Every structure is written in C-alpha cells, then in structure tokens.
Amino acid sequence: MSYLCYPRGNSASKDDIEGQGQVLKNGGGDSVKETKTLKTYILDPSEKFLKRWSVGFVLSCVTAVALDPLFFYLPVINQSKKCIGFDSRLWKTTLVLRSFFDIIHLLNIILQFRTGFVDEELRKQGKPELNTDAWKIAQKYLWPWFLFDILSILPIPQVVVPIIISEMRGTESTNKVKFLNAIVLFQYVPRVYQIYLSWRKLITNDKKFDRIILVKASLNFILYILAGHVLGAFWYFFSTQRLAACWHVACDQNRTRCYGTSFNCSDRSSGDLSFINDICPINVPNTTSTFDFGIFLLALQSGVLESPDFPQKLFFSFWWGMRNLRFAHIRLLFFYI
C-alpha cells in the first residue's frame, strides 16, 4: 500500500506542488519585474533629469527662434548688375543649426508621451496623484500641445525662403511672395508660444525658478533682445523684396528691354538694365522719387543689402530693430498716458 499510494503518489504530488510553486514564483517575479519596468518607463515630472531637460529645452527654444531669422539674410543685392545673389555658405550653416534644434524638439515630443502628470481626479479619490497611464498621457498631450509642437518644427523657412528668393529673381511681378511671407510669419506664432509653454511648465514643476527674480528678469531681457533681432531680420528681408518690387515695376514699363533677362546673379544675361536707375533711384528723397521705398530706404542707402560681410548686415539690422522697438515702446507709453 505504501508503494502504491505514498511513495509514488506523494512524490508526484510533491513534484507537482514544487513545480507549481516554481511556476507561481517565476510568474509572480516576472509580473512584478514587468510592472516595475512599466512604471519606470513612465517618467515622473519631478525627477532631476526632466527638470534639467526642461531648463535646457527652454534655452533651446529661445536659441532656435534666434537662429530662424538668419534665413532672411540669404538674399544679397548687386546694384550694379541689378541682380539678387544667394549666400550659400550662410544657407548651409543655418540649415545644419536648424536641423540640430529640430532634433532636440523631436526628442522633447517623445518625452512628452512618456512623462506622467498630476491628475486631480486621482487626488480627489485619495489615490496617488501621478497618472502613469500611457493612453491618458497621450490623450492629454495630443490636443492641442502636440499640434503646436508639430507646427513649430515644420521646415517652413528651409522650403519657403528659397522659393521667395526665386520669385524675386523673376522679371515678372507676382503676388505669390506676399502669400509666402505670411506663411513664414505664421510659424513664429507656435515657436514663440512654445517658449511660453516651456517656461510655464518649468516653473510649475520646479517652483524655485518662479521665486528667483533674476531668472525671470533675464528671460524677459533675452526675449526683448530677441524681438529686436527678429524685427531687424524681417526689415532686411523685406528691404530686398521692396527693391525687387521696384525692379519688377521698371520691367513692366519696359518689357522689351527686360526680355530674356532675369535678376539671378548666377545666370545673369548681358542685357542692359541701367534704365532701372531712373525708375528706382535710392539716393534721392522719396518726394522726388517715382517709387516709394518707405522705411526700407535706409537699408538701400546704407549699402547693407550689397555687403558680403554677414556680421555687418546682422548688427546693422539688429541696431535698426532695437531702435524701432524702443520707439514703439515709447509711443505705446504715450498712448496709454
């Protein structure tokens, strides 16, 4: 009986029990390990890594917005030949820098899908406040913040600015340039707003930045300088367009003399376009000129549009932007008074 029942039966039962226990033990261990892995995969916004990343991302957003206006210095005017050149060296440098900061922005988008958030509903239920549900995190981020991030990294200046320069080089005037200018200006809305969102998120997760007055004052000063830099770059870019528009008017009035020519310095034909000087004079007052250059006359008379020296163009345009930004603030002050 002992042979039939105890040794064999108990041996089998013992092995089965030990096997089941081992399975349960391994299964439980894997489950715990898997749960921990999932929890560590969702980042806590209070972690030091994310705090440091938030500071770096704010600085990268400001730097990226400061780099974008460099695309507007690509056209170079040649007054003697009446053509528009293209600064290929600046183009390559700006393209690489813009791509680098776009990669940082893409990494930030990935982190947003893997960063938990404080859930007020969980707090009311007495549960842990940090929501680590990946689907809820994605839902919270997709609208509208994901849209702003995508609009911010669209390669608009890389694509649109060369098209604008190509349109300027043609001898026939078109309204396409105005539409393309509006597209370039539009991207500054989400890119500047991204700086605000990143800053608000930084001071929300780390209150010490909100209490340090020097940090906030420094950011406001940097944004003020950035506004003057952007304004000066647009002034330079629109000055080249205004001069090209005058050339187009001159060619519309003398179509036969512009036939078969273009304003492209790289494939400039031998046609004589000296008659344009009579229609587009830049060294006479606007009252006697047949074409009004408006606020862009200073850029034409200074010779900055023709200068191959990029730092000269940059600092002269920056000076103009800061000067007019300061006057705008004074006018607003008197308006409110």
Considering only residues 14 and 265, tell me which one the structure prediction assigns the higher pLDDT.
265
Q: pLDDT-derived band of residue 212, with 50, 70 and 90 as boundaries?
A: low
Instruction: List pLDDT tens digits, range 158-184.
Output: 999 999 999 998 877 677 898 999 999
Amino acid letter, 120: E
Place of tokens 């715990």: 32
Q: pLDDT-derived band of residue 21, with 50, 70 and 90 as boundaries?
A: very low
Closest by Cα among 3, 5, 7 to 15:
7
- Its pTM stands at 0.79
Q: pLDDT-derived band of residue 11, with 50, 70 and 90 as boundaries?
A: very low
Instruction: List pLDDT tens digits, range 290-334.
Output: 688 889 999 999 999 999 899 999 999 999 999 988 765 544 434
Rg of the chain on CA atoms, in Å: 31
E strand map for the chain: 75-78, 83-86, 117-118, 130-131
Contact 82, 169 (CB under 8 A): no
Contact 168, 75 (CB under 8 A): yes
188/285 Cα distance (integer angstroms):
34
Q: Would you state the pLDDT for residue 145?
A: 83
Closest by Cα among 85, 247, 77, 61 to 162:
85
Least confident of 41-50, 103-112, 240-249: 41-50
